[in-house]
Amino acid sequence: MKTTIIDFLKELEKNNNRDWFQANKPWYEEGKKEFEEFINSLLPAIAKFDDSIRFLTAKDCIWRIYRDVRFAKDKSPYKTNFGAFMARGGKKNHGPGYYFHIQPGECFLSGGVWMPEPEITKKIRNEIYYNFEEFKAILNHKDFKKNFSGIDDWDRQKLPPRDFPKDFPGMDLLLNRSFTISHPMTQKTLFSEGLLESTVMVYKAMVPYNNFLARAMEG
C-alpha cells in the first residue's frame, strides 16, 4: 500500500472541515480507490478459510468517511481513519468478523464482537461458562498468543455479572462487555509488499475465536 492514505489522513486531522475536504477531494478519492483495491484483494484470500464472505466486495465492507454528528459532542464532519469490516453480509453485521483499520499512529487488525447488545453479551458469557476449557484452549493456542495479547480490555465491568458463581475460574473473561481482539500494525508493515500475506496470517489466527463467538450468538 502507498503512503497516500496516511498522508491524506494526517492533513485531514489538522483540517477537519468541509471546505478543506472539498478542495482536496481528488486526494481523498485516490486514497479511497487504493483502499478498495486492497480490500478487494484481501476478501478472496480470507474466503479460502472463511467462505461466509465469499460474495462480498470492498463496497460492502468499507465504512463511509462521513461522520454522523447529530448526537455527538464532536462536530468534526469526517472520520480520520479508513476502516473495513469483513463479515457475513458486510459491515452492518453485528457478529464476529475481520476488521482492518488505518489511522495515523493507530493502524491495527481486529476481530471478535464489538459492543454487542446485553442479551448477546449474556449468550457469549454463557458459552464461555459452559465451555470454559474449550475457550481457554483457544486463547492459549500458540497461533492466537503469537498474534494477540488476549481479549481487549477497553470495555469491562467492575463487578462480576449476575447469574454466574463468583468463584468461577474464568470470571475475568466474563467481565468483558465487548469481545474484540486486536493486532497492532506498524507503518512498516502497512507499506510493505508483504501486507496482504501478513494480514491474512493474522486473520487466520482469529478463526477459532470467531467461530466460538458465532456459535454462542446462534445458540
Q: What is the mean pLDDT of residues 107-119?
A: 97
Output phi, psi for 30, to 5 deg: -65, -45
Predicted TM-score (pTM) of the model is 0.95
Give 123-172 pLDDT, tens digit per residue.
999 999 999 999 999 999 999 999 999 999 999 999 999 999 999 999 99
73 pLDDT more than 80:
yes
- Domain spans, the chain: 4-218
219 pLDDT more than 80:
no
Task: Please give the Cα distance from 102 to 34 (Å, whole number).
Answer: 12
Give 165-181 pLDDT, tens digit per residue.
999 999 999 999 999 99
Domain spanning 4-218, CATH architecture: 2-Layer Sandwich (3.30)
Phi-psi region of 105 (alpha: psi -120 to 50; beta: other; left: phi over 0): left
Enclosing H/E stretch for 144: helix 142-147
